[in-house]
Structure 1
Amino acid sequence: MTVISQGRTAPFDLENTEAWWLVPRQLFDGETLRAGLALRIAAGRIDDIVPTGQAGMDGLPIWKTASLASPGFFDVQVNGGGGVMFNSDPSPAGLKAIAAAHRASGTTAVLPTLITDTPDIMERAVTAALAVAGSDGIVGVHLEGPHISVERKGAHNPLFIRPMDEHTLSAVRRLRAGGVPVLVTLAPECVPPGTIVTFSAMGAVVSLGHTAADAATTRAAIAEGARSVTHLYNGMTPITSREPGVVGAALDSDVYCGFIADGHHVDDTVLRLSIRARPVRDRMVLVSDAMSTWNGPDHFTLYDETIHLVGGRLVNRLGSLAGVHIDMATSLRRLVENVGISLEDALKMATANPSCLMRLEDSVGFLRPGMPADIVLLDWA
């Protein structure tokens, strides 16, 4: 059971209390923000949700708080944290350190993200994920590359970008055989026809990213089974007056769109317009895309190049953006205060929407009877 409290402590020992009541000022259950509800928590799970007046009638201890209670945040794109990059330390210890760095600010579920690298690094990452998935908030793994466009590579090393191969197919097969949820980011124009179908048949979720595809190719990939795009606007063809590109085709569809809300990777006005443009609600997914500097040192090494944190931006030696320095809680605040998204919708983007993307509604992103009591208490809301 995970209860993350920003500045508040329980009035009793949570670790040694088998069952108790949480009575927040407001409750967001993954769908609706409401007042007047209490949660009965037993053995680390939500046992019941009832009107506030019924809390404590069974004699169990009560934690009343002026905070808003929400499902813990679910971040499907986390490259690093706590001074650790998944690519640099593809080990169980490395994964646990990354998850702990983000759990400190309310992210209770993560997909550690391995960006384009060698087959050996991918194999080590798969082995590590199989060892720890399901613990410490490590829900699954996100393989971002290596089958992407050199033209839209971003910070990915072109030396490791390659055509679809048996290494990646085997890696995804191993993960799925072990019951580990997998998100795969690829460029549809860089893989053979049928690749998305193959991954989907394994139970992996396919996302389009780091791609130079046009709108027609994007629509074909969506029809083939792609469920999302990776960090909208970044690493993909933009909207123009005569060619919608990946961005336009994605926004005009029902796929999930992951996005970064740090104010650097997507302008707040553009983000606001994009959210309003969606034809289907609840298809926007907030991600941090965080690097190891979050809760870690102000620099790190990626592909033998040192990246520095300067004025809130991660930049390489040329001064170009080379990663993200933010967490989900800060991103959520920016969504509400800077972008102008309602708190309820913003919370969905950080909890329920990524859960639905990954088809994990029964275990992550919602507060329902029978589900784990992975709860974040928001004092600023």
Structure 2
Amino acid sequence: MSQVLVAEQLFDGEQLHRDVALQVDGEGRISSVGGPAPEGAQRLRGLLAPGLVDVQVNGGGGALFNNEPTVESLVRMSRAHARYGTTGFMPTLITDEIEVMQRAADAVSAALREGVPGVLGVHFEGPHLSAPKKGTHEERFIRPLTDGELAIYARDDLGIKMVTLAPENVVPEDIRKLVDLGVRVCLGHSNADGATAAAALEAGATGFTHLYNAMSPLHSREPGMVGTALISDDAWCGLIADGHHVSPEAMILALKAKPRGKVMLVTDAMSLVGSEETSFPLFDRTVVRQGDRLTSTTGELAGSHLDMISAVRNIRDWCGVELIEALRMASLYPSQFLGFAGGKIAAGVRADLILLNGDQRVTKTWIAGQEVFSAQ
């Protein structure tokens, strides 16, 4: 059934408008923007904006994808993050056994067939990583690329496919092979020097996973992963703007160094987002939340307790980014990285929308024209 929404303010991904009528067709796509509002149209107070897109979501709503790689977990993750404006996300599986990777792939495939709201594909963060930069990943599961993993990456029923790897442990020829399979390759959890990272980009890698974190730093005589990421104009970089992973000054540096559109906000969210729980098991450890910081019992940061709209507010407040640019960093730019037609409100685009109040809190979320969250 078609519907008409009339927005007090509307951000279409590029510009702000006032008192705009939005027609959504029965297929969940925007059929028109503008024109007179028919009688009986739903009037919305606040700012209507494109839904937010998160390329790195480990869990939510009490479900961690590694612990429960099922469709039910993806449903819980979708519902939890929709409360905070996420309308598209990449379920992320960190380094694990190949059997768990296979189960995760099967769950994503089933979720896409069943139309679980917001699921775009799958992000395998590992297992082809660097042990010295493993972070909270389990070292015993870190391994080279084999035919077993390639068989998973080659599947054509997984939607958008993304793999984070350490370029010192995967040769450029294998990166080209992944790209030929339709995989978006990101570099991360790596101790590589700049030349090795640059060779991986030349082979087809297009992004850096959680810039600054778990990667070789910039030095005066060696750019490392961080320096290579900052000087590579064509590569996208994810930022975890939670105040724990990256300082405001480091985020400002990235925004100054990178071309507009190449820095995107990510959450790296764990299961506690959208949950009242304060801890969860991760392999043979426990991760504990203290405020909005997650720490493993082995001492390292273990993902985040961040949601996307909080990341938008944080980078606005801490780095002086205008709200509409912060929204682009959370919607348009990650959509462009993924090759997904999101981050815009325009005719022909899927109606993935959020409504924000004056405090930039989410009051409503729509995915494919269906209201999936309302604060009222």
TM over 0.5: yes
Structure 1 residue 192 displacement after superposition: 2.5
Number of the residue aligned with 1:6: none
Number of the residue aligned with 2:338: 358
Change (3 A) 1:298 1:244: same
Q: What SS does the corresponding residue of 1:335 show, helix, strand or coil?
A: helix
Number of the residue aligned with 1:263: 243
Q: Aligned runs of 1:94-105 on 2, under 5 Å?
A: 94-105=73-84
- Is 1:45 equivalent to 2:23 in the alignment? no
Change (3 A) 1:319 1:186: closer
Change (3 A) 1:318 1:193: closer
Structure 1 residue 319 displacement after superposition: 4.1
Contact 2:270 2:305 in 1 (8 A): yes
Aligned equivalent of 1:291, options 266, 270, 273: 270
Deviates more, 1:126-135 or 1:150-159: 126-135
- Is 1:128 equivalent to 2:112 in the alignment? no
Distance in 2, matches of 1:236 and 1:320, equals 14
Distance in 2, matches of 1:272 and 1:34, equals 28
- Is 1:55 equivalent to 2:55 in the alignment? no
- Is 1:88 equivalent to 2:67 in the alignment? yes
Q: Aligned runs of 1:97-116 on 2, under 5 Å?
A: 97-116=76-95
- Is 1:376 equivalent to 2:318 in the alignment? no
Q: What SS does the corresponding residue of 1:367 show, helix, strand or coil?
A: coil
Contact 2:172 2:199 in 1 (8 A): no
Distance in 1, matches of 2:37 and 2:356, equals 21
Distance in 1, matches of 2:51 and 2:117, equals 13
Contact 1:164 1:192 in 2 (8 A): no
Distance in 2, matches of 1:79 and 1:65, equals 32
Identity of aligned residues (%): 43
Structure 1 residue 24 displacement after superposition: 1.8
1:377 counterpart letter in structure 2: L
* Structure 2 unpaired stretches of 5+: 361-376
2:23 counterpart letter in structure 1: R
Change (3 A) 1:318 1:120: closer
Structure 1 residue 179 displacement after superposition: 5.3
Contact 2:135 2:300 in 1 (8 A): no
- Is 1:162 equivalent to 2:146 in the alignment? no
Structure 1 residue 193 displacement after superposition: 3.0
Structure 1 residue 35 displacement after superposition: 3.2
2:5 counterpart letter in structure 1: L
Change (3 A) 1:84 1:106: same
Aligned equivalent of 1:206, options 161, 185, 192: 185
Distance in 2, matches of 1:113 and 1:179, equals 13
Structure 1 residue 217 displacement after superposition: 1.1
Distance in 1, matches of 2:327 and 2:32, equals 22
Contact 1:25 1:68 in 2 (8 A): yes
Number of the residue aligned with 1:240: 219
Deviations 1:90-142 (A, max 9, x none): 01111111111111221111100000000110010011111012532111110
Contact 1:272 1:341 in 2 (8 A): no
Number of the residue aligned with 1:367: 345
Contact 2:211 2:226 in 1 (8 A): yes
Distance in 1, matches of 2:122 and 2:45, equals 35
Distance in 1, matches of 2:158 and 2:56, equals 19
Number of the residue aligned with 1:316: 296
Distance in 2, matches of 1:152 and 1:40, equals 48
Contact 1:80 1:290 in 2 (8 A): yes
Deviations 1:211-264 (A, max 9, x none): 111111111111111110000000111112221111111111120001100010
User: How many matched pairs?
Assistant: 354
* Structure 1 unpaired stretches of 5+: 1-17
Contact 2:308 2:330 in 1 (8 A): yes
2:219 counterpart letter in structure 1: T
TM-score, normalised to structure 2's length?
Answer: 0.91
Runs in 1 of length 4+ with deviation above 4 angstroms? none
Distance in 1, matches of 2:25 and 2:68, equals 36
Q: What SS does the corresponding residue of 1:348 show, helix, strand or coil?
A: helix
Distance in 1, matches of 2:355 and 2:159, equals 28
Deviations 1:317-374 (A, max 9, x none): 254322200100111111111221111211111111111101112xx32222122211
Structure 1 residue 36 displacement after superposition: 4.5
